[in-house]
Amino acid sequence: MKILFFGDIVGKIGRTAIRQVIADLKKEVEPDLIMANVENLAHGTGVTEKTLQELLDLGFGFFTSGNHIFDKPEAEVLLSRKDFPLIRPANYPLQTPGDGYKIISVGSRSLLIVNLIGRVFIKENFDCPFRKIDEILAAVDTKKLAGIIVDFHAEATSEKIAMGHYLAGRVSAVLGTHTHVATADARILPPGTAYLTDIGMVGAMDSVIGVDKGPVLKMFLSQMPASFQIPEEGEVIINAVVLTIDPQNQKVLDLTRLDRVVKV
């Protein structure tokens, strides 16, 4: 089973870049599933049905998210639809709309996808992601699955690495999102769990993590509030990974970074 997973897609410029490269990447990778973190999909904050439909039309099959998922009111409606391929972090409070994990069909096989969010350097007061993943794995019949993928949407590298070691041998992959900065530590932890601290983003290269650099620099220099904008043209960095899972034992055979730069 081969999965193509894109890091946080940021705004219209990120969606446009995906449209430019997706046909070639499908031919190159031949993925069984294409997925992405989409919490920044709609102009940098949250999602809308329209922006998600753009990706569905391109062949995307599933979406994870993070702490910005509820920035647009539409998210509550979308997450409440049991048939919609979108999840929010599982360690939100129990009454939060939506699901934190789903079992989906990939061809004839079943895949569990879990979304978690970290707590270190995160302002919101989320439940413990370590205890939450224990609850999820205890509630699911994992023996019937071809693989288990965890998107750990977290700020601190230490928390992400700790989660990788905590889940080694229990899931197929722990893949980090949130920082928008790709890391070079892709590896397979024994006995077969893929780990990466952060996939990165699909967003403007001449920016500060996808945001126009001018207001960000002003904020850092003045400590005054600034209105952030997302560039709509220029070079775009595309960060993704290709994950190959043996469906017989849920172990990862290969984890490869896929990084491109295109002009929008």
Q: What is the CATH number of the domain that holds 124?
A: 3.60.21.10
Domain that holds residue 24: 2-259
Does residue 173 register a pLDDT over 90?
Answer: yes
Query: According to the model, what pLDDT value does residue 226 have?
Result: 87
SS (H, E, C) 179-221: CCCCCCCCEEECCCEEEECCCCEEEECCCECCECHHHHHHHHH
Query: According to the model, what pLDDT value does residue 242 have?
Result: 98
Position 227 in a domain: yes
Does residue 208 register a pLDDT over 90?
Answer: yes
At residue 167 the predicted structure's pLDDT band, cuts being 50, 70 and 90, is very high
- Binding residue per annotation — 153? yes
Q: Which of 68, 72, 88, 119 is catalytic?
A: 68
Position 104 in a domain: yes
The count of structural domains within the chain is 1
- Binding residue per annotation — 180? yes
- Binding residue per annotation — 43? no
- Binding residue per annotation — 165? no
| 87-140 residue pLDDT tens | 999 999 999 999 999 999 999 999 999 999 999 999 999 999 999 999 999 999
Could you give the percent of the chain with pLDDT greater than 70?
A: 100
Position 264 in a domain: no
**Helix ranges restricted to H, the chain:** 11-29, 49-57, 74-80, 129-139, 157-167, 213-222
Task: Tell me the β-bridge partners of 38.
Answer: none
Q: State the DSSP string of 37-68.
A: E-TTTTTTSS--HHHHHHHHHTT--EEE--TT
Task: Tell me the β-bridge partners of 238.
Answer: 202, 260
Active site residue 68: yes
Average pLDDT, rounded, for the chain: 97
Task: Tell me the β-bridge partners of 102.
Answer: 113
- Binding residue per annotation — 57? no
- Binding residue per annotation — 39? yes
- Binding residue per annotation — 127? no
CA distance 258 to 216: 28
Show Cβ contacts of residue 239 under 8 Å, excluding neighbours closer than 6 positions: 6, 7, 182, 199, 200, 201, 202, 257, 258, 259
